[in-house]
């Protein structure tokens, strides 16, 4: 199929960007969205045009590197799918596709469609870990954990930190990401010892880095490629409130 692509081009965070329009032909409906961009870049190189910079790594929906805003939606028109898992069969011959980077103060543009998501790493470094000495690796059944809690912690741990929640939220809030990282620890015995310190330090770092407040619209849950529930935000708010009360 033949497509028209309107792609955001920007030299760096301090430069003014703009949309450039490209035409691409004979795109296989079985190719992935990133494979289509690969073909476009090969075409641009042949035409002596600088190829489009975009993030990617595993291309298996695991690493969270490939976030793009496609036709006004994070990761494109499919649900619970990363950009690398999106296939061109979701589009039609003759379509115009608008491709943008994540847009958030905390995610400055590196180049074209690439953004700096190191803010997520800084939030995790502020408290998204267990630092107490828990001894050696225990037997799997040494610490009884209710299956419901273990399942919910595992669901929270599926967050890949792609940033779709931030890009989708009108306030550029990182609450879904942070709450998922809090839940995967707060639900388990090893994470409870530092629960209050973790909640306060991660909120402080989130505010420092320029993320906004939760908009309470649920848009983050809708666009999350792993289907992370906003119920984790409610848990995170409880953890933070308990921490403030006990100050």
pLDDT of residue 133: 67
pLDDT of residue 125: 92
Query: For residue 81, what is the enclosing H or E element?
Result: none
On whether both 138 and 25 belong to a single domain, the answer is no
On whether both 67 and 166 belong to a single domain, the answer is no
pLDDT of residue 226: 96
Average pLDDT of the residues of the chain = 92
On whether both 98 and 9 belong to a single domain, the answer is yes
Output the pTM of the full model.
0.90
Give the chain's length. 247
Residues 6+ apart with CB under 8 A from 28: 88
216: containing domain:
118-245
Residue range 8-28: mean pLDDT, rounded: 96
Residue range 157-174: mean pLDDT, rounded: 96
- CATH number of the domain to which 76 belongs: 3.10.20.30
pLDDT at 134 over 80: no
User: How far apart are alpha carbons 148 and 242 in whole angstroms?
Assistant: 23
pLDDT at 20 over 70: yes
- CATH number of the domain to which 186 belongs: 1.10.1060.10
pLDDT of residue 84: 96
pLDDT of residue 108: 96
Residue range 94-115: mean pLDDT, rounded: 97
Cβ-contact 92, 4 below 8 angstroms: no
């Amino acid at each position: 199929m033949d497509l028209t692509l309107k792609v955001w081009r920007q030299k760096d965070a301090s430069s003014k960007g703009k949309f450039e329009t490209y035409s691409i032909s004979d795109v296989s409906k079985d190719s992935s969205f990133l494979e289509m961009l690969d073909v476009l870049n090969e075409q641009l190189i042949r035409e002596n045009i600088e190829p489009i910079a975009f993030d990617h790594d595993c291309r298996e929906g695991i690493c969270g590197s490939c976030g793009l805003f496609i036709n006004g939606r994070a990761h494109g028109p499919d649900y619970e799918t990363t950009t690398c898992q999106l296939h061109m069969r979701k589009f039609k011959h003759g379509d115009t596709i608008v491709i943008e980077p994540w847009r958030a103060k905390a995610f400055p543009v590196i180049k074209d469609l690439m953004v700096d998501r190191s803010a997520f790493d800084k939030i995790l470094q502020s408290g998204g870990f267990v630092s107490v000495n828990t001894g050696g690796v225990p037997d799997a059944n040494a610490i009884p954990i209710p299956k419901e809690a273990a399942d919910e912690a595992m669901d929270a741990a599926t967050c890949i930190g792609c940033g779709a929640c931030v890009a989708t939220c009108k306030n550029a809030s990182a609450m879904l990401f942070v709450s998922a990282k809090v839940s995967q620890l707060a639900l388990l015995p090893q994470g409870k010892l530092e629960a209050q310190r973790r909640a306060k330090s991660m909120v402080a770092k989130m505010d420092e880095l320029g993320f906004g407040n939760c908009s309470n619209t649920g848009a983050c849950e809708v666009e999350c490629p792993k289907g992370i529930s906003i119920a984790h935000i409610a848990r995170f708010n409880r953890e933070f409130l308990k921490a403030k009360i006990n100050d």
